[in-house]
Amino acid sequence: MVEIKGSVILDSITGIKKRDGAQAYEELVALLDEDTKRMFQGVISGSSWYSLELFLRFLAAEVNKSANGNEEVLVTRSEKVIERQLRGIYKVFVKLGSPEFLMKRIAAVHMTYFNGVAIEFTSLGPGKATIRYTGFEAKHRLIGLTIVGFFRKALELSGATERDVRFTTRIEEAKGYADLAVSWK
């Protein structure tokens, strides 16, 4: 079973409340199935592990409610989360180095966000890298959109131009791994 760190869930809840208000968040929770509702009505600890599947059910319901099912909004919403983080607790990473340094660092940080997923960063030369995620299942496909947004915004904040971030092997292909191709100038 793949799990996600509570801090990611808390960032999502904070983003929803900030964007749509606490009442909209409560209305969203009311729409959830019983297992997911129980998780979101309980106390979520930033340092604990939670079911990725339940978190993704929450994200799917949120996208249906606030964006008429347009899943692509997850890319831009995750960009806002990484922007807050890279201007806050992780700003030292942006100041310290190149886009490649930041890509390696984010791949390493992602390892702390997921339990049951291995992440491997491979530099393919200047301005190119592949990040392989092993352990996601096809039902986890929505997390891929958030990953794209994370890397895309990180590249932008590091000053990279001509950014391209896309899965060449998508999570929903169910190959046991997903490859994210990242390139920049």
CATH number of 73-183: 3.90.1520.10
Contacts 24+ apart (CB under 8 A), 101-106: 102/154, 102/155, 102/158, 103/129, 103/131, 103/151, 103/154, 103/155, 103/182, 104/129, 106/150, 106/151, 106/154
Strand partners, 167: 180
pLDDT at residue 183 is higher than 70: yes
DSSP 8-state code for residue 38: H
Express each pLDDT in 113-151 by its tens digit: 999 999 999 999 899 999 999 999 999 999 999 999 988
Give φ, ψ of 131 to 5 degrees.
-120, 120
What is the overall mean pLDDT for the chain?
Answer: 91
Domain extents for the chain?
Answer: 3-67, 73-183
